[in-house]
């Protein structure tokens, strides 16, 4: 193994990588933010060994505030249709460009960003009204995801910056992501056997895994939306609309032979329409379709 000292030189590299992981394209942070972060350049090695990582979280909060400001500006910019007859340059890759100095410079950059996003949709023959709706949803989703970032996520981001600085092939996994990795390796978990994704704040069923509790029960269908989850036969239903997907998954998974109840908005049903409650008994779900397969093919000569 390569022996590498945890010292000021390493700390400096870790800071650069952490900032890069937050704002690689230099679209959010200002030069003054980066200057403020400089006070920690040679302290991260000491923090990792013994001190609290409070500055790591403080740097992230600065970044989160800047992201909110940019997305709110982008949403406000959508109130006016851009003029595509004016020739302007927009640079996608800003990783090597200087950090911008003022909010006004960021505003101008983001005005062009929104104009470019709108132009891409215009080339796809979307009307301005359709473009407004699509981009408003896109920016709002990103804003919501940023608001849902937790301290564990920030810690994982920083520790990955630290690990990648030591070795580009090393990574840190949070407890939750470690569990997901274990599932992918063992190709099994305990739950109901449904693949889910977020769509317009709703947890939507994408497919039912063969042989799992949901498949055996037969009531849960693709495109059904899960609006609430309860534990056991008489646990309180917890509304999950707008939740992070991984948080909803944690509610649905559990030990074998335990009951989870789902409040479902059936596929095609409009919000406010009739919902139903399903009761499922968790069991082992095998992800056989994801298993590696081999086949010997004899080719005629």
Q: Report the percentage of the chain scoring pLDDT > 90.
A: 78
Confidence of residue 301 (pLDDT cuts 50, 70, 90): confident
Token representation of residue 157: 């981001």
Structure tokens at 182: 């274990």
62 within 8 A of 23, measured Cβ to Cβ: no
The residue among 287 and 213 whose pLDDT is bigger is 213
* pLDDT tens profile 170-190: 889 888 888 888 888 888 899
Chain-wide mean pLDDT for the chain?
92
Looking at residue 238, the DSSP 8-state letter turns out to be: E
Q: How far apart are CA 204 and CA 209, in angstroms?
A: 14
pLDDT at residue 1 greater than cutoff 60: no
For 36-40, 49-53, 165-169, 171-175, which range has the lowest pLDDT when averaged over its residues?
49-53
Res 276: pLDDT: 93
- What single-letter DSSP state applies at residue 241? T
- Tokens 């409070």 locate to 54
**49 contact partners, CB below 8 Å, separation of at least 6:** 6
pTM over 0.95: no
Beta-strand relationship, 194-199 and 238-239: unpaired
Cβ–Cβ under 8 Å, residues 78 and 140: no
Residue 94: partners with Cβ closer than 8 Å, 6 or more residues away: 25, 26, 27
Backbone angles phi, psi at 266, to 5 degrees: -55, 155
| Poorest-pLDDT segment among 54-58, 151-155, 177-181 | 177-181
Q: What structural domains and CATH numbers belong to the chain?
A: 8-166 (no CATH), 183-288 (2.30.42.10)
């Amino acid at each position: 193994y390569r022996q590498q000292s945890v010292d000021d030189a390493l700390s400096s590299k870790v800071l650069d990588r952490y900032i890069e992981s937050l704002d690689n394209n230099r679209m959010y942070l200002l030069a003054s933010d980066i200057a403020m972060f400089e006070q920690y350049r040679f302290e991260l090695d000491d923090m990792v060994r013994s001190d609290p990582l409070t500055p790591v979280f403080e740097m992230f909060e600065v970044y989160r505030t800047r992201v909110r400001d940019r997305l709110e500006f982008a949403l406000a910019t959508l109130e006016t249709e851009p003029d595509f007859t004016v020739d302007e340059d927009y640079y996608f890759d800003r990783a090597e460009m200087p950090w911008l100095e003022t909010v006004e410079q960021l505003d101008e950059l983001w005005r062009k960003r929104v104009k470019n996003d709108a132009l891409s949709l215009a080339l796809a023959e979307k009307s301005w009204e359709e473009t407004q709706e699509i981009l408003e949803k896109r920016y709002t989703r990103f804003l919501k995801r940023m608001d849902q970032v937790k301290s564990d996520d920030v810690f994982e981001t920083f520790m990955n910056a630290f690990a990648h600085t030591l070795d580009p092939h090393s990574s840190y996994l949070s407890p939750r992501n470690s569990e997901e990795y274990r599932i992918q390796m063992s190709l099994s978990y305990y739950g109901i056997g449904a693949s889910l994704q977020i769509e317009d704040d709703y947890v939507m069923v994408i497919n039912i895994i063969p042989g799992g509790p949901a498949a055996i029960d037969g009531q849960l269908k693709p495109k059904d939306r899960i609006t609430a989850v309860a534990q056991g036969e008489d646990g309180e239903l917890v509304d999950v609309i707008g939740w992070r997907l991984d948080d909803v998954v944690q509610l649905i998974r559990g030990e074998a032979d335990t009951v989870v109840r789902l409040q479902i908005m059936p596929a095609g049903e409009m919000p406010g329409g009739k919902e139903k409650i399903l009761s499922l008994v968790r069991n082992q779900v095998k992800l056989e379709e994801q298993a590696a397969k081999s086949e010997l093919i004899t080719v005629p000569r």
